Chain A
Amino acid sequence: MSASESAAKSKFVLRTNQIQALIDFLRERGYRTAGPTIRDCAVIYDEINNAEQIPLGVADEQEAGFYRVKKRKEAGYFSYVVGAHSWKKFLNPPRFTLWKAKMDNGEMSLVVDEPQAVPHYAFIGVRPCEIAAIAVQDRVYLDGPYVDNLYKERRSAIAIIAVNCAHPGGTCFCVSMDTGPEAKSGFDLALTEIQETNRHLFVATTGSDLGVEIAKALKLEPATPDDIADEAATIKRAAGKMGRKIDTSHINELLQRNEDHPRWNHVGDRCLNCANCTMVCPTCFCMTVEDTTDITGKTAERSRRWDSCFTIEFSHIHGGAVRTSASARYRHWMTHKLASWQDQFGVSGCVGCGRCITWCPVGIDITEEAAAIRASSRGE
Chain B
Amino acid sequence: MATRPKPKVAVWKFASCDGCQLSLLDCEDELLAVLGEIELAYFPEATRMVVKGPYDISLVEGSITSPHDAERIHKVRRASKKLVTIGACATAGGIQALRNFADVKEYTSIVYASPQYIETLSHSTPIQNHVFVDFELRGCPINKAQLLEVVSAFLHGRKPVTPPHAVCLACKLNGTPCTMVAHGTPCLGPVTHTGCGAICPAFHRGCYGCFGPKETPNTTSLSNQWEKLGVDSATLMRAFRSFNAYAEPFRKESEAHERK
Chain B, range 160-219, C-beta contacts under 8 Å to A = 161, 163-166, 168-169, 172-178, 180-183, 187, 189-191, 202, 204, 215-218
Give the number of chain B interface residues (Cβ < 8 Å). 47
Q: How far is the CB of B226 from chain A (nearest CB, A)?
A: 10
Distance A67 CA – B181 CA, assembled complex (angstroms) = 5
Pick the residue among A44, A85, A274, A363 that contacts B190 (CB under 8 A). Answer: A274
B37 within 8 A of A: yes
Instruction: Decide: B178 and A359 in contact? CB cutoff 8 A.
Output: yes
Verify A84–B182 contact, CB threshold 8 A.
Answer: yes
A279 to B149, CA, bound (A): 25
Select one of B155, B189, B202, B215 contacting A295, CB under 8 A: B155
**Residue in contact with A297 in the complex, picked from B156, B181, B215, CB distance below 8 Å:** B156
Q: Among the listed stretches A132-140, A149-157, A181-189, A285-293, which one makes contact with chain B, having 4 or more residues with CB under 8 Å of it?
A: A285-293
Q: Which of B155, B165, B175, B189 contacts A312 (CB 8 A)?
A: B165
Task: Determine whether the beta carbon of B218 is less than 8 Å from that of A271.
Answer: yes
B36 at the interface (CB under 8 A from A): yes
Interface string of A270-299 (1 = CB under 8 A from B): 111111100110000000001111111100
Q: When chains A and B are docked, how far (Å) is the Cα of A326 from the Cα of B166?
A: 13
Are A68 and B152 also in contact (CB < 8 A) when A270-B221, A275-B168 are?
Answer: no
Instruction: For the complex, give the distance between the alpha carbons of A306 and B194 in Å.
Output: 14
Flag if A274 contacts B215 (CB, 8 Å): no
Q: Tell me the minimal C-beta distance from A67 to chain B in angstroms.
A: 5
Given contact pairs A44-B175, A106-B1, A359 touches B181 in the complex (Cβ within 8 A): yes
B129 sits at the interface (CB 8 A): no
Pairwise interchain contact A306-B173, C-beta atoms closer than 8 A: yes
Q: A67-B182, A272-B221, A293-B158 are in contact. Are A40 and B165 (CB under 8 A)?
A: no
| Contact residues in A for B149 (Cβ distance below 8 Å) | 292
* Residues on A with beta carbons closer than 8 Å to the beta carbon of B217: 272
Q: B151 an interface residue at 8 Å Cβ cutoff? A: yes
Report A48-77 residues with CB < 8 Å from chain B CB.
65-68
The residues of A that contact B156 with a CB separation of less than 8 Å are: 293, 297
Given contacts A295-B33, A296-B33, contact A324 B1 (CB under 8 A): no
Given contacts A290-B161, A295-B30, A313-B164, contact A275 B155 (CB under 8 A): no
Confirm or deny: A41 has a beta carbon within 8 angstroms of a beta carbon on chain B.
yes
Inter-chain contacts of B109 with A (CB < 8 A): none
Contacts of A295 in B (CB 8 A): 30, 33-34, 37, 148, 151-152, 155
Residues of B within 8 A of A275 (CB): 165-166, 168-169, 172
* Residue on B nearest A89 in the bound complex, by CB: B175
Within 8 A of B (CB), among A87-113: 89, 94-95, 106
Contact B177–A273 (Cβ < 8 Å): no
B235 within 8 A of A: no
Pair B169/A311 contact, Cβ less than 8 Å: yes
Closest to A361 in B: B180
Q: Does any Cβ of A come within 8 Å of B95's Cβ? A: no
Q: Is the CB of A312 within 8 A of B172?
A: no
In the assembled complex, the CB of A298 is this many whole angstroms from the nearest CB of chain B, namely 10
B176 to chain A: closest CB distance in Å?
6
A132 to B255, CA, bound (A): 47
With A275-B166, A361-B225 as known contacts, state yes or no: A326 contacts B180, CB within 8 Å.
no
Question: Considering the complex of A and B, which 4 residue pairs feature the smallest CB-CB distances, nearest first?
Answer: A279-B172, A42-B177, A84-B177, A274-B190
Chain B residues in contact with chain A, CB under 8 A? 1, 30, 33-34, 36-37, 148-149, 151-153, 155-156, 158, 161, 163-166, 168-169, 172-178, 180-183, 187, 189-191, 202, 204, 215-218, 220-222, 224-225
What are 9 A-B contacts defined by CB distance under 8 Å? A67-B177, A68-B183, A95-B173, A270-B224, A272-B221, A275-B166, A295-B37, A306-B172, A358-B181
